[in-house]
Structure 1
Amino acid sequence: MTDTAEYSRRYDPDAQHAFPDDRLNEILPELTSDPEVRTLLDAQNVNAVVRKRYNDHGPKHIEIVRNQALRLYDLLKAAGIEFNGAQDQGLEEEDEAVIIALAATLHDIGHIVHRDDHSYYSIPLAGSFLDRFLPQFYETEAAVRVKAEVLHAILCHHTEEEPLTREAGVIRVADGLDMERGRSRIPYESGGRGINTISSQAIDQVTLKPGTDAAVLVEIEMVNAAGVYQVDNLLKAKLERSLIEDEVRIIAINTKAEDPLVERIEL
């Protein structure tokens, strides 16, 4: 497995992975270039950022969540962690990564309806898209089962619903891992000073690595104690009851010595 800094942040289809990746690498280019998907991802930022002045939920957020989800999945598979979503449906192991990539891409499209309760609005929108998209790659029965798992993962990316699969848990945690300061640039520059915006501005970098006492080590660099909100409130809530909480260790370090209020957090 490639161990470069870039690979720790981005899914590389040409790299060696700890999972069968041929089907994912076939589907992913078609997914990311689909005109409906591209428009949905752009449109979902209107309610989130333009109207609600919330953190980015558009194409860049989706790209980061998808990369983090696939990287997280890869590290878990490398550590021998078994996934149950595709397996329970009688699907193939190679479908696990497909489910994760699809759910990561579509999890926030409900924002085009409203920011509030958007995960519930995402379900019919994603279902409609998947009905059109999946038959290119799957026979009817397999397409229905992949769709079921994708919708479950989308629904459970928020903490109100309990993930029943590790695929869904990966989406839930990966969504919480998009916390770097670039995510809050638009609302911050337009005057937004809510806790989500300020705390995100305090996070410099998030890196995923193989762990020693857990399958995955998440390293978070903070430049201000405000970043504690992102780590101890938002990410901690995502990790709890994710079905992968015992496999992920999180260490957040405040790199600014002149701001000693919070120096280190471990989850």
Structure 2
Amino acid sequence: MSDSAGDDGGDTRRVYDPDDDHAFPDEKLNEVLAFVDADEEIQTYLEAQNVNAVDRKRYNDHGAKHISIVRNRALCLYDLLKAGNVDFNGAREQGLAEEDEAVIIALAANLHDVGHVVHRDQHAYYSIPLAADILDRILPEFYDVADSVRMKGEVLHAILCHHTAEEPLTTEAGVIRVADALDMERGRSRIPYEQGGRGINTLSSQAISRVSLHEGETRPVMVEIAMTNAAGVYQVDNLLKAKLRGSGLEDDIRIVAVNTNENREQLVERIEL
């Protein structure tokens, strides 16, 4: 993956490494990831989908870097949840194998934003037919006809439900929804900010210095948000907390925001959301 351990300061809980031991069967996932990363059509989509988002709408990156971050964090989040014995119902209710849970998550993470090639607005809905065509080509490489149909439905469901207007009906879809919001560090805010302005969106989007995933003490996952300014609480509350709400993972993920600014006059040092 392009989002390497070096990029993340050595925090291995933020980067999926195929060679590591995981709390889930990973052999099929690693085969699928290798196929996807070498696929010319998918890699071209990652470039093309950024044009409407960045060049035309002046929004933030929704291309290869965003996809790499979301996929990494989705798989790390999945690993922590599996280690915490959280039930995943998507693959199971379709009669698919446990190893297919991670494949659903990885494919949905890779394809959730392809609809940007049509338009930034309502992109989740445009992603469905485009991803469906891609999946029709990829899935037969790894599944028979019946399982390809079931996998396709689960991946598309997870893609659709990264949009907060739609209700995730599977744990796999909930992971994608939350992972999308975890790409929120400085310069990568999911909430657009006014260029050159000093409004709350501008301040909050620049205040998030680091997002880390850890094994929790009271819940399977703790998400720790490092802020340099208390304004980052606005970003976390309006992005990550909003996506966590309704994801089905509210009881499994704890969010803690920490102010790392050494100025002791700061009013907020640590807050749980």
Q: TM-score under structure 2 normalisation?
A: 0.91
Deviates more, 1:117-126 or 1:29-38: 29-38
Q: Percent sequence identity over matched residues?
A: 69
CA distance in 2, matches of 1:235, 1:6: 20
Corresponding position: 1:143 with 2:148: yes
Corresponding position: 1:95 with 2:100: yes
Aligned-residue offset at 1:200: 2.6
The residue number in structure 1 matching 2:4 is none
The residue number in structure 1 matching 2:65 is 60
CA distance in 2, matches of 1:178, 1:143: 30
Find the residue that maps to 2:13 and give its secondary structure: coil
The residue number in structure 1 matching 2:11 is 6
Find the residue that maps to 2:231 and give its secondary structure: helix
CA distance in 1, matches of 2:204, 2:52: 21
CA distance in 1, matches of 2:271, 2:122: 30
The residue number in structure 1 matching 2:168 is 163
Aligned-residue offset at 1:49: 1.1
Corresponding position: 1:265 with 2:271: yes
The residue number in structure 1 matching 2:236 is 231
**Deviation digits for residues 143-187 of structure 1 (CA, Å, limit 9, x no counterpart):** 110010000000000110000000000000000110011425xx8
Which of 52, 72, 77 aligns to 1:72? It is 77
Find the residue that maps to 1:146 and give its secondary structure: helix
Corresponding position: 1:123 with 2:131: no
The residue number in structure 1 matching 2:217 is 212
**Deviation digits for residues 92-119 of structure 1 (CA, Å, limit 9, x no counterpart):** 0000000000000100111111111000
Aligned-residue offset at 1:197: 5.5
The residue number in structure 1 matching 2:86 is 81
Which runs of at least 4 in structure 1 moved beyond 3 Å after TM superposition? 190-198
Find the residue that maps to 1:121 and give its secondary structure: helix
Give 1 or 2: higher helix fraction. Answer: 1
For 1:50, the aligned partner's letter is D
Deviates more, 1:225-234 or 1:4-13: 4-13
Find the residue that maps to 1:133 and give its secondary structure: helix
The residue number in structure 1 matching 2:159 is 154
Find the residue that maps to 1:220 and give its secondary structure: strand
Q: 5 Å matches for 1:7-22? A: 7-22=12-27
Q: Is the 8 A contact 1:24 1:94 kept in 2?
A: yes
Deviates more, 1:218-227 or 1:70-79: 218-227
Segments of structure 2 that go 5 or more residues without pairing to the other structure are 1-8
RMSD: 1.8
Q: Is the 8 A contact 1:100 1:168 kept in 2?
A: yes
**Deviation digits for residues 197-242 of structure 1 (CA, Å, limit 9, x no counterpart):** 5433211111101000100011110112231222111111100111
Aligned-residue offset at 1:21: 0.4
Find the residue that maps to 1:208 and give its secondary structure: strand
Find the residue that maps to 1:149 and give its secondary structure: helix
Aligned-residue offset at 1:7: 1.4
Question: Residues 196 and 137 of structure 1: is their aligned pair in 2 closer, same or farther, counting only changes over 3 Å?
Answer: farther
Aligned-residue offset at 1:9: 1.2
Q: Is the 8 A contact 1:55 1:196 kept in 2?
A: no
For 2:266, the aligned partner's letter is P
Q: 5 Å matches for 1:16-31? A: 16-31=21-36
Q: Is the 8 A contact 1:72 1:208 kept in 2?
A: yes
CA distance in 2, matches of 1:43, 1:217: 34
Segments of structure 1 that go 5 or more residues without pairing to the other structure are none
**Residues matched between the structures, number:** 261
CA distance in 1, matches of 2:218, 2:125: 36
Question: Residues 14 and 96 of structure 1: is their aligned pair in 2 closer, same or farther, counting only changes over 3 Å?
Answer: same
